[in-house]
Amino acid sequence: MYEIFFMVCALLCNFFCYCQDDLLSVIVVFRHGARTPIDPYPNDPYRNSSYWPVGFGQLTDAGKKEQYELGQWFRKRYGSFISANYSENDIYVKSTDVDRTLMSAEANLAGFFPPQNEFVENLAWQPIPVHSTKETEDELLAMKKSCPKYDKLSKELGKEPFFKNLSHTYHDLYAYLTRFSGTTVSDPDTVEYIYNTLTIERSFNFTLPPWTVNVFPKKMEYLSSLSFAMDTYTTDLARLKTGPFFNLITEHFKNVSGDFLGHHNHSKEDVWNRKFLIFSGHDTTIANILNSMGLFDLHSPPFASTILFELRRKFDNSTYLNLFYKNSSNPIQLCLKGCQLDCDLGRFIEILEPITVDPKRWKEECTLSWLDFLPFGYEGNIVAVTMLLSFTLISLCLLCALNCLKGEKSGKALYEQLSSEEA
């Protein structure tokens, strides 16, 4: 009897082990840990640097701890996938070229990869490379490389009826904030700038100025949150802002899965071919990626908030993606519109195709053409030019027809004249 019981248990165990989906690759994108204000507003009572010994826009001890604990969470979640012994063949880490994101990546890795053998006694740390690109040259993560077409589209966004109405609706709030902050407040971005500073100062238990009681946080919260959606508010904006990032991750997943016939499989030396990629960025990085995928609920992404992309293979050899957003202790699974929670990789790539663009194509699309300088908007310009060309073509056809008709009449008159002379 016991033999049969253990045999059934063994068979069930083998079955479930066989059916366990394999984790193939992970990409994580996180915001840096807690920081000091980047640039206090002009009338800020705490704008003196003496209040911020580490400097403006710098990672605080609390921020280092947040990232260290996030790294420990990664170790717990992916311990069976990534060896505790660091290997360059397993992982690649990229950060924006900013102190707080570079330090966040390092603090995170200290928690993710505690040393197995101390190279210095009592030093619970090992060096792991973190790579970065100058912000003005980085279209992938900082997303600040020059793109004239994006700048033009972003400027035109303010002319849309929704944003024009927004300025009217919040005129009094803008005026109030301008009066007391000492800086001109005229859009959601400048509201967010003040809101963010006040939030940090409150977290340091600083007493906020009396004027803030009337507007902070409630009356400023919506506009502050909206500002994070504006960079990728339309498909065109999303493509030019996050297109290179989505190109990288889709190409990476194609390579790792090996499911796409004819797709170039990069060599093992290619850093983007490693099975675990870490990106250290900003609140805007998190918001831009989520909003481009249609998964952003208006909010200010908190410190150390994280997006997780997990590629898995089923027992039938098909591959799918799981998406998670961790903005608290437990990650929330996200469902891409048009897909399931277990999103087929091919379908995932298909859904993101409109906002995915390779670096070469991105550079071309960022270039302004003469159409962009016409006053009707890009699509309106195309319609206007099409109508102009059509009108020109019709005019030419009419001129040709008139010339032909005139020629026939002249020929007929000449023929009649010659005929009468011959007679």
- 283 is annotated as an active-site residue: yes
Greatest C-alpha distance within the chain: 130
Within 10 Å of residue 279's Cβ, how many Cβ atoms? 24
The pair of three-digit structure tokens given for residue 149, joined into one six-digit string: 């077409």
C-alpha dihedral sign at 328, 331, 332, 334? positive
For residue 201, give every residue at least 6 positions away whose Cβ sits within 8 Å of its Cβ, in sequence order, or none: 37, 44, 46, 208
For residue 407, give every residue at least 6 positions away whose Cβ sits within 8 Å of its Cβ, in sequence order, or none: none
Q: What count of residues does the chain have?
A: 423
Which member of 270, 283, 316, 372 is catalytic?
283
Between CA 140 and CA 281 the distance in angstroms is 11
Which member of 32, 187, 231, 252 is catalytic?
32
Q: What is the per-residue DSSP string for 223-238?
A: HHHHHHHHTTSSHHHH
Within 10 Å of residue 382's Cβ, how many Cβ atoms? 13
Which contacts of 329-334 are long-range, i.e. CB under 8 A and separated by 24 or more positions? 331/306, 334/293, 334/295
- Is the Cβ–Cβ distance between 130 and 105 less than 8 Å? yes
For residue 272, give every residue at least 6 positions away whose Cβ sits within 8 Å of its Cβ, in sequence order, or none: 92, 248, 251, 252, 255, 266
Strand partners, 92: 277
- Is the Cβ–Cβ distance between 6 and 35 less than 8 Å? no
Between CA 349 and CA 249 the distance in angstroms is 10
User: H/E element holding 320?
Assistant: strand 319-326
Between CA 254 and CA 252 the distance in angstroms is 5
- 297 is annotated as an active-site residue: no
Q: Which residues are catalytic?
A: 32, 283
